[in-house]
Structure 1
Amino acid sequence: MPHVDARLARTLSPAGGKPFGVGEWRRGGLPEKGTRRRRIVAAVLFAGDIVSGTLAVVAAAVIVTVAAGQTNLIGRMQTQMWLLLLLLLGINCSLGLYRSNIRSPMERFRLRATATLLFVFAGMLMWIREGPSVELAIVPVIGMIAPVLGLWTEHLAGALLVKSGLHRAPTAIVGTGASSRALARLLLNRPACGLHPIGFIDDGTCSDDVVDVFVPRQDADSISAVLPVLGTLDGWCADAGAEVVIVPDCEDLPRDAAALYRLGARQVLVITRLGEFPTFGLQVRNADCFVALELNGQPSDYSKELKRGIDLVLALALLLLTAPIIGLLALTIKLADPGPAFYGQWRVGRYGRPIRILKLRTMYRDAEERLERVLVSDPELRKQWQRHFKLVRDPRILPHVGSLMRRTSLDELPQLWNVIRGDMSLVGPRPFPSYHMDAFDPQFKALRASVPPGLTGLWQISSRSNGDLDVQRAEDCLYIKNRSLWLDLYILMATLPAVVRAMGAK
């Protein structure tokens, strides 16, 4: 599938002064349905932050009360707790976290982190005026809890919005050429982008009323979607239902800039392809005669010692917390199918070295023989296996306990020991078996071997088993070329919602 990164889209704005086509903009207006959709999205996101913010404030107050040993502390802090909640919501709102705009989850996480830092700074100033006290500690504690709970509730709210269809803004694509059709394929196949293509705008090169878009599906056979040609740049207006207009390439920009604004869309986006360059954290720079994207250069990969230190501290803590769960699951496995509850599996590690990762057994002891019999007897399942290296109804899986562990990824908890040993990191591309790695091209295999494999990664919080080889390649490339402390923190926080939702797990 041709790769077009919607995260690189930038919003066009008039050069200054009175916007182009302002008369046409007001005359066409925006559909009431679009305004209602955006208000619902904003309300759902705001409600989620009210819940997460309240929980963060209450949890912080309880922690400070227990630590201080003062039972009446919460009663004295009730007014301040409400003020802190309003301050947190106000800063989130001022930074645009509740606006219906095009931002990647990583960008939203950075905004949320910035809002939290501002909250801690403003909260400390507000409270310290009354003099130092034990209550002052509640502000930084809220600052540590709020981003995590906020991210989790945002994921839940986003899942509800995607399921209802409200998350996606109706989108018109300029042109009907190869780049326009590639963009339509991407948006149809990736609802999480937040854009729903409703048709094309003829730029003078199309003679048909409809355009066929071949859409490869991740979980089924490919389909052909038919999208209409909505009109021309000169004669069409967004009152037909589009909130966003996208130009798929800078080269496709019309000579008359006013033509785009006369369309009356709420947003006009231009896609910029950066190829192999890192794309997270790009900055738009406006000069007198041009607009530029400031690149970040090489991936930071921050300090190896810092990454290793975070891995050790968190892995040790998580292993101690999950040890009772691992023991209970091991006992259940033995009851379901007598034999060892743990097993080691050889995977490809950093620099291509083989590593033996630990897992709880989710399959029958004769799993490979069961798989071979099924693949020989059913060509469709063999085709599914060759594409995903997974089966929807896998005959090898232990009933109940095996399905539960694979759906929730609990079978991978013993790999915390691999992280402690240094074979793996908490965040990175998942370690694949050699037969899975052989399905990729040599260039990607070399790129993947340049970083340590991870217990969780970008693919695990987005596609997981729903993604075929192309999707796995795209997600892993995106992580490796943009790796940073911010991205690792985001992936760690987003892993729990993905596991709870059992997204793409098989």
Structure 2
Amino acid sequence: MSNVDARRARTLSPAGGKPFGGGGESRRGRLSEKGIRRRRIFAALLFAGDIVSGSMAVVTGAAIVAVAAGQISLVGRTQAQMCLLLLLLLGINCSLGLYRANIRSPMERFRLRATATLLFVFAGMLMWIREGPLVELGIVPVVGVIALVLGVWTEHLVGALLVKSGLDRAPTAILGTGASSRALARLLLSRPACGLHPIGFIDDGVCSGNVVDVVVPGQDADGTSAFLPVLGTLDGWYADGSAEVVIVPDCECLPRDAAALYRLGARQVLVITQLGEFPTFGLQVRNADCLVALELNGKPTGYSKELKRAIDLVLALALLLLTAPIIGLLALAIKRADPGPAFYGQWRVGRCGRPIRILKMRTMYRDAEQRLERVLVSDPDLRKQWLRHFKLVKDPRVLPHVGSLMRRTSLDELPQLWNVIRGDMSLVGPRPFPSYHMDAFDPQFKALRATVPPGLTGLWQISSRSNGNLDVQRAEDCLYIKNRSLWLDLYILIATLPAVIRAMGAR
């Protein structure tokens, strides 16, 4: 089952609009204490985060407009309106369901935040036209943009806290014990970001035991085994708060009697459908009498090469000017750790398969290749790790302190802003790999990857980074290429900074 298969196709609701579980029992009453606590903590953290980020956005936006307009007294004069702006922002976010513990991908949540921002700007400007001078209207859109960026960063921070506490994933039961059910369990166990934690299987009539062995892909080639229990039968098992979600792995597995699903007592029932290679972002559910249909996008929405190039130039030039002092300080630190050039060029595979020379800051000793060869020859386990990831957890080639810092925070990639300005790369896209890395992929994926320019950051970099093996890299890059759009690029750009600060998966 591919990464695309994890996309939810349809959330079922029982006939008559009654909650799952039947009777007049409320949704809250069916959740376990842990489930109630998880949802409360999720909502409280997000709401508190938006109060902080929204307050910072309002004050910063007012200060920027005041300085630009040459009216320093503007901040103090508009305090009442700024408080109203904060309440308006929080109210719109709440009305769109941003503080509910729903099963949504980060991209879906970003779309909601972007929609909330547009509504906030529209309503805020209408309010300000009546209350303040026209020169102050600029505060509202500036506040909206800053609030959107800070809101995404806050969500990433909250997500990291929830992952550490184990409160980010909903307990999930999977219908059936067949091949499709086991494949889905493998996917969910290996991809915690889905927000679903499988706790077992529901016997649909073909079970022959009390546990099911699920081989989960791990860091090692052989993977690991997880034994998930059979919770009960479709007719006899009741969640009673132990499972918040029941997943039907395929439309073909739906029982003939829909009431059998409702009697399970889960808060949500999700049906998975396999969409193959179709783009999955922005899918729309259509209801036509007795039919439920997905409106598919035949191709990624994308956006013009000229617009993408213009955004790359403007942002890359600005970022290069801002980071020039940091690059200079790092270059001095490199020379102190290991005398020699602080920068070097590395040949990578670019768009249409042509070689490009990307700029990097040196994080390794000058005799790095000889050090690597000696280690791989002497240690079979490290050689196995290298062949699977083309990276080592403890790399003997890396410079002490400064080299580790740059690799952990990706600061060694900053000179590639010049590659973006030159047109060899884009700000967002699949990372450019060396030829030996690309040779490990199948021809079909290599041809797909060659259709887009490589990027300074990408979907893989804000999710798994170095933790992902070749299969994960392929899945993430395919997902980006088939769904690329201006919205997706903006989300990846905004989400890159918190991923770098957390040094998530970096080596």
Q: What's the counterpart of residue 12 of structure 2?
A: 12
Contact 1:349 1:355 in 2 (8 A): yes
Q: What are the equivalent positions in structure 2 for 1:284-363 lying under 5 Å apart? A: 284-363=285-364
Q: What's the counterpart of residue 267 of structure 2?
A: 266
Q: Read off the aligned partner of 1:397 and give its amino acid letter.
A: V
Q: What's the counterpart of residue 379 of structure 1?
A: 380
Q: What's the counterpart of residue 101 of structure 2?
A: 100
Question: Percent same amino acid at aligned positions?
Answer: 87
| CA–CA distance in structure 2, aligned partners of residues 426 and 403 of structure 1 | 24
Q: Read off the aligned partner of 1:164 and give its amino acid letter.
A: S
Contact 2:331 2:361 in 1 (8 A): yes
| CA–CA distance in structure 1, aligned partners of residues 17 and 340 of structure 2 | 75
Q: What's the counterpart of residue 462 of structure 1?
A: 463
Helix, strand or coil at the partner of 1:357: strand
| CA–CA distance in structure 1, aligned partners of residues 147 and 254 of structure 2 | 42
| CA–CA distance in structure 2, aligned partners of residues 183 and 25 of structure 1 | 30
Q: What's the CA shift string for 1:199-219, capped at 9, x where partnerless?
A: 111001102111111111137
| CA–CA distance in structure 1, aligned partners of residues 19 and 377 of structure 2 | 65
The 1:161/1:405 distance shift into structure 2, 3 A limit, reads same
Contact 1:397 1:403 in 2 (8 A): yes
| CA–CA distance in structure 2, aligned partners of residues 11 and 414 of structure 1 | 46
| CA–CA distance in structure 1, aligned partners of residues 110 and 295 of structure 2 | 20
Q: What's the CA shift string for 1:375-430, capped at 9, x where partnerless?
A: 00000000000000000000100111111111011111111111111100000000
| CA–CA distance in structure 2, aligned partners of residues 346 and 245 of structure 1 | 48
Contact 2:98 2:109 in 1 (8 A): yes
Contact 2:19 2:267 in 1 (8 A): no
Q: What are the equivalent positions in structure 2 for 1:63-462 lying under 5 Å apart? A: 63-130=64-131, 132-218=133-219, 222-239=223-240, 241-462=242-463
| CA–CA distance in structure 1, aligned partners of residues 230 and 24 of structure 2 | 21
* Deviation, structure 1 residue 297: 1.9
The 1:346/1:17 distance shift into structure 2, 3 A limit, reads closer
| CA–CA distance in structure 1, aligned partners of residues 199 and 299 of structure 2 | 37
Q: What's the counterpart of residue 480 of structure 2?
A: 479
Helix, strand or coil at the partner of 1:439: coil
* Deviation, structure 1 residue 96: 0.7
Contact 2:4 2:277 in 1 (8 A): no
User: Which runs of 4 or more aligned residues in structure 1 lie more than 6 Å from their structure 2 counterparts after TM superposition?
Assistant: none
* Deviation, structure 1 residue 3: 4.2
The 1:131/1:318 distance shift into structure 2, 3 A limit, reads closer
| CA–CA distance in structure 1, aligned partners of residues 66 and 2 of structure 2 | 55
Task: Compute the TM-score of the two structures, normalised by the length of structure 1.
Answer: 0.97
| CA–CA distance in structure 1, aligned partners of residues 344 and 312 of structure 2 | 23
Contact 2:363 2:403 in 1 (8 A): yes
Q: Read off the aligned partner of 1:476 and give its amino acid letter.
A: D
Helix, strand or coil at the partner of 2:136: helix
Helix, strand or coil at the partner of 2:143: helix
Decide which moves more: 36-45 or 311-320. Answer: 36-45
Q: Read off the aligned partner of 1:67 and give its amino acid letter.
A: A
The 1:166/1:21 distance shift into structure 2, 3 A limit, reads closer
The 1:277/1:120 distance shift into structure 2, 3 A limit, reads same
* Deviation, structure 1 residue 16: 4.1
Contact 2:429 2:454 in 1 (8 A): yes
Helix, strand or coil at the partner of 2:7: helix
The 1:120/1:240 distance shift into structure 2, 3 A limit, reads closer
Q: Read off the aligned partner of 2:42 and give its amino acid letter.
A: V
| CA–CA distance in structure 2, aligned partners of residues 499 and 29 of structure 1 | 39
Contact 1:24 1:262 in 2 (8 A): no
CA RMSD of aligned residues (A): 1.6
Extract unaligned runs of 5+ from structure 2.
none
* Deviation, structure 1 residue 7: 2.5
Contact 2:177 2:202 in 1 (8 A): yes
The 1:17/1:31 distance shift into structure 2, 3 A limit, reads closer
Decide which moves more: 63-72 or 326-335. Answer: 63-72
Contact 1:20 1:258 in 2 (8 A): no
Q: What's the counterpart of residue 56 of structure 2?
A: 55
Q: What's the CA shift string for 1:255-305, capped at 9, x where partnerless?
A: 100111111111110011110100000011111120111112211220100
* Deviation, structure 1 residue 132: 3.5
Extract unaligned runs of 5+ from structure 1.
none
Contact 1:4 1:183 in 2 (8 A): no
Decide which moves more: 60-69 or 333-342. Answer: 60-69
| CA–CA distance in structure 2, aligned partners of residues 93 and 495 of structure 1 | 25
Q: Read off the aligned partner of 2:366 and give its amino acid letter.
A: R
Contact 1:25 1:262 in 2 (8 A): no
Q: What's the CA shift string for 1:3-32, capped at 9, x where partnerless?
A: 453223421123446567622866983323
| CA–CA distance in structure 2, aligned partners of residues 7 and 23 of structure 1 | 30
| CA–CA distance in structure 2, aligned partners of residues 41 and 9 of structure 1 | 24
Decide which moves more: 494-503 or 296-305. Answer: 296-305
The 1:116/1:243 distance shift into structure 2, 3 A limit, reads same
Contact 1:359 1:411 in 2 (8 A): yes
The 1:245/1:53 distance shift into structure 2, 3 A limit, reads same
Contact 2:20 2:264 in 1 (8 A): no
| CA–CA distance in structure 2, aligned partners of residues 182 and 383 of structure 1 | 25
Q: What's the CA shift string for 1:318-361, capped at 9, x where partnerless?
A: 11111111111111111111111111100000000000000001
The 1:505/1:20 distance shift into structure 2, 3 A limit, reads closer
The 1:117/1:97 distance shift into structure 2, 3 A limit, reads same
| CA–CA distance in structure 1, aligned partners of residues 259 and 291 of structure 2 | 17
Contact 2:13 2:20 in 1 (8 A): no
Contact 1:30 1:238 in 2 (8 A): no
Contact 2:35 2:241 in 1 (8 A): no
The 1:425/1:131 distance shift into structure 2, 3 A limit, reads same
Decide which moves more: 425-434 or 324-333. Answer: 324-333
The 1:149/1:272 distance shift into structure 2, 3 A limit, reads same
| CA–CA distance in structure 2, aligned partners of residues 233 and 311 of structure 1 | 54
